[in-house]
Amino acid sequence: MKRLVLILFILLLPLAEASTFTGYVGLSSTINVGNYSVKIKDVSQADGSLLLDVSTPYGSRMESVPLGSTLSLGGLNLTFEKVFFGPRSLVFLSSSFPYVLQGENVTVGPYEIDVLSVGKSGLVLRVGYNNEDKTFKLSSKSSFRFKNLVANVSGFLPVYSGYLKLNDSVSFVGETVTFVEARVENTSKGFIETVFFSYNDSTYEVPVGGEKVIGPFLVKVDDLIGVNYTKVDVNFLGVSMDLAIVPDEVFSLAPGQTKALGPYLFRYEYSFGNRLGVSLLKPCQVVITTASLVVSNVSTLLYHDGLTVVPLSVDSSGKAWFASFIDPDELPSVNKVANVLVTLKDGDARQYLPTALTVEVENTGNVALSNLTIEFVPGDVKVLSGTEFFLKSLRPGEKREFKVVVLPTRPGKVSAGRVKVVATAPYELACGGYTLLRFSSNELTLNVRPTRVRYYLMASAPENASLYRPVNLTVVVRNEGDAALPANLTLAVPQGVAVAASDNIFASGSSVVLPLHLSPGNETTLSFVVVPYTPGEKPLRVAVVSLPGVVNETSVSISVFEETEGEQNGTETVTSTSTGGVNSTVTVTVTETKTEAKNVIITTTSSVPYTPLTAKALWFGVGFALGAGVIIAIAWYLARKS
């Protein structure tokens, strides 16, 4: 009775039907399961009968089978249902086959499925298609899709759970494991209980509480009662697969309707009984090819460069159903024949100094390109040269170079930008015969070395001046940085003071600007003639403005008065000295020399912090100088280049 219950349990298992496959495969396709293999060699256009190359463990043979018949080989059963003739003929078939064990594989058309592992944690399958493969880690019951292959899989099937009597067996799909012995040993560590099983004339021992793989089974021993009964859980280490190769799309059309399929337009023209007239068009409605499809078990299909369309059925009103397959690797693509390699290379990059970048444009395709527009899109840099270039044509294998000059304004890792190219290339699906292609370069990152920007600045002028009398303002500037950068000396002129005209002086509102170009360590002395025309205290503020902004500044003040008869004039000179750089603290030294009858010299020295924010508030003319900074850099770069 116990054996009967065990047999009934196994017969009622839900996955006893094993595996199935349905779908479309091409001529020369192979169906392979275990030691059985069938390859479709040819199909008769008269009646659809198939010529097959059959391989079994007992040998190989050529066999012809009629359409609609079933070929049985061991556990593999194949039924050939429909054929579709065309440049890429297809066969629609269905099949059933046994469970696939761990380490085995199945081939259905272009797909190969390898069972890598089966266990309590789930399944691991590898699916290959041509030269591409993908590994799937799945639960014991799961589904997946890979290209046109859809799969529902189940594994680690529970075969039996319960008590076995000595010499009882568990059998499933022709595989049997038998309980043959039990031992209880008294050792220094206590009693050790061991259960023995046989499979294919080999014996396996499993301790109580342990588990072991025995053939296609995983056997776990839960308990032992005496030596005649044991409680076990038995799982089958095989996989049931329900596989299907499905179309990319199934759709219906009435006569005259059109549908987009990939880069094409598919138009259903008419129906005449079971014959369907169809056309394939370019996007602009130009016809590429036409076909007459037959709805039958021996049918025809439309194929053109990566697209396959098969007819499925047609109703009495003429409405028809179609299935389409698209192979992206075979679709027309201008990128398959036309390509531009765009490369952006850097030079020696240093902060605030011009850096030349090299743009390389190479035609790596096999067709000539025309009307190429090359555009440099800057990143975190200022551009000192042109950013757009034009090429009338670029032959296959031809390479052209262009230069772009940029100015990095900060040190460290800096994005220089990238290059974009738009070109015209011949394309078979374009109605004008050509299409626009877009390419892009790498995004270049510059390693910018820092530049020290520092200027010494001293200004001096008489402390007192008479109304309408010219006064000399002397300014000494020295470059104490490590690079020759374009800079301006800016003089802020207060109300009531005029500056004598000079060829090198540029006036902007209440500011006077004088260009500077000093190499590191060099200095220059500049003189300004100022004429006060209103009395009062007149502060003259002087600053050095370079690419980073205001680098250093100082000021002197002149007291302007009206002369009266008999007034004794003294001579006083104010000197303001400032040495500073970007984000530095400077010291301003004021020296007053008063000449009186006693010839007493008084020198006063004071230190004040350099605060750029206050300076910027005072210097409303600095905005003009900063805005002109890049223009100065361009002029300086072009002057050096010439």
Beta bridge partners of 270: 277
Q: Point out which residues pair with 40 in neighbouring strands.
A: 52
DSSP 556-602: EEEEEE---TTPPPP-EEEEEEEEEETT-----EEEEEE--TT----
Q: Scan for tokens 């006569």, then name that residue.
A: 255
In whole angstroms, how far apart are CA 106 and each of 24, 37, 243?
16, 10, 10
Classify residue 119: in a domain, yes or no.
no
> Which has the higher per-residue pLDDT, 74 or 230?
230
Residue range 130-142, pLDDT digits in tens: 889 999 999 999 9
* DSSP conformation class of 350: B
Q: How far apart are CA 322 and CA 305, in angstroms?
A: 18
Q: Is residue 114 part of a domain?
A: no
Same domain, 435 and 468: no
Q: Are 131 and 95 in contact (CB under 8 A)?
A: no
* N-term to C-term CA, the chain: 108
255 with 175, same domain: the answer is no
Report the pLDDT averaged over residues 96-106: 94
Residue with the bigger pLDDT between 57 and 434: it is 57
Give yes or no for residue 597 having a pLDDT over 80.
Answer: no
Contacts of 327 (CB under 8 A, 6+ apart): 306, 307, 308
Do residues 226 and 253 share a domain?
A: no
Whether 25 and 93 have beta carbons less than 8 Å apart is answered as yes
Residue 599 in this model has a pLDDT that exceeds 70: no
Distances (CA, A) of 403 to 355, 400, 438: 10, 11, 21
Per the CB < 8 A criterion, the answer to whether 509 and 494 are in contact is no
Task: Map residue 408 onto helix, strand or coil.
Answer: strand
- Residue 236 confidence class, pLDDT cut points 50, 70, 90: very high
Query: Two tokens at 217?
Result: 């089974």
pLDDT at 319: 94
Residues 439 and 480 in one domain: no
- Strands of 286-368, DSSP E: 287-294, 298-300, 302-304, 307-314, 320-326, 340-345, 355-363
Neighbours of 569 (CB within 10 A): 11
- pLDDT (0 to 100) of residue 547: 87
Asked if pLDDT for residue 257 goes beyond 80, the answer is yes
589 is a domain residue: no
- In this prediction, residue 580 has a pLDDT band, given cuts at 50, 70 and 90, of low
- Pair (315, 367) in one structural domain: no
Q: What is the mean pLDDT of residues 69-83?
A: 94
Verify that 318 and 397 share a domain, yes or no.
Answer: no
Instruction: Give the separation between CA 426 and CA 363, rounded to whole angstroms.
Output: 14
Does position 575 have pLDDT exceeding 80, yes or no?
no
Q: What's the total number of domains in the chain?
A: 4
Distance CA 119, CA 144 (A): 18
In a domain, 351, yes or no: yes
The CA distance from 129 to 13, in Å, is 33
Given this model, what pLDDT does residue 49 score? 96
Percentage of residues of the chain with pLDDT beyond 70: 82
Tell me what pLDDT residue 216 has.
Answer: 94
CB of 472 closer than 8 Å to CB of 461 = yes
570-576, long-range: CB within 8 Å, 24+ apart, which pairs? 570/464, 570/594, 570/595, 570/596, 571/462, 571/595, 572/462, 572/463, 572/464, 573/460, 573/461, 573/462, 573/463, 574/460, 574/461, 574/462, 574/463, 575/458, 575/459, 575/460, 576/458, 576/459, 576/460, 576/542
Reply yes or no on whether the pLDDT at 576 is more than 70: no
Show Cβ contacts of residue 422 under 8 Å, excluding neighbours closer than 6 positions: 372, 373, 375, 436, 437, 438, 439
- Written as six digits, the tokens of 308 are 């396959």
Residue 615 in this model has a pLDDT that exceeds 70: no
Domain-ending residue, one of 193, 222, 239: 239
Are 496 and 443 in contact by the 8 Å Cβ rule? The answer is no
The pLDDT score that the predictor gives to residue 405 is 94
Q: What is the pLDDT of residue 578?
A: 54
Kindly report the CATH number assigned to the domain that includes residue 389. Answer: 2.60.40.10
**Residues 464 and 557 grouped into a single domain:** yes
Mean pLDDT of 307-323: 96
pLDDT value at position 335?
A: 66
If asked whether residues 409 and 481 sit together in one domain, one would say: no
| Angle formed at CA 172 by CA 169 and CA 178, multiple of 5 degrees | 20
Q: Which of 596, 559, 553 is nearest to 574 (CA)?
A: 559
**289, 316: one domain:** yes
Measured distance CA(34)–CA(17) in Å, rounded = 17
Segment 550-571 mean pLDDT: 77
What Å distances lie between residue 230 and 157, 162, 163, 193, 221, CA to CA? 21, 8, 5, 11, 7
The closest of 49, 48, 98 to 77, measured between CA atoms, is 98
Residue 224 lies in domain: 157-239
pLDDT tens for 152-177 read: 999 999 999 999 999 999 999 889 99
Q: Final residue of a domain: which of 207, 239, 271?
A: 239
User: Residue 575 corresponds to which tokens in the numbers above?
Assistant: 């000197």
- Tell me: do 522 and 474 sit in the same domain: yes
Enumerate the β-bridge partners of residue 183: 194
| pLDDT value for 507 | 58
Give the confidence band of 284 by pLDDT, cuts at 50, 70, 90.
confident
- What is residue 623's DSSP assignment? H
* 296 & 352 share domain: no
Domain end, chosen from 272, 295, 326, is at 326
Residue 335 lies in a domain: no
Percentage of the chain surpassing pLDDT 90?
A: 66
Mean pLDDT of 209-227: 95
Q: How far apart are CA 319 and CA 135, in angstroms?
A: 41
Are residue 439 and residue 497 in the same domain, yes or no?
no
| Predicted confidence (pLDDT) at residue 573 exceeds the cutoff of 90 | no
Yes or no: say if 630 and 546 are a contact pair by the CB < 8 Å rule: no
Q: Is residue 590 in some structural domain?
A: no
Position 611 pLDDT exceeds 50: no
Q: For residue 544, what pLDDT band results from cuts at 50, 70 and 90?
A: very high
The span from the CA of 528 to the CA of 461, in Å, is: 10
Question: Alpha carbon of 572 to those of 150, 461, 604: distances in Å?
Answer: 98, 9, 13
The predicted pLDDT at position 619 comes to 37
201 is a domain residue: yes
214 assigned to some structural domain: yes
Q: Residue 438: which pLDDT band, with cuts at 50, 70 and 90?
A: confident
581 within 8 A of 551, measured Cβ to Cβ: yes
- Sequence length of the chain is 642
State the chain's mean pLDDT as an integer. 84
CA distance 626 to 597: 48
**Residue 579 CB neighbour total at 10 angstroms:** 19
Burial class of residue 276 in the structure, from the number of CB atoms within 10 Å of its CB (0-12 exposed, 13-18 middle, 19+ buried): buried
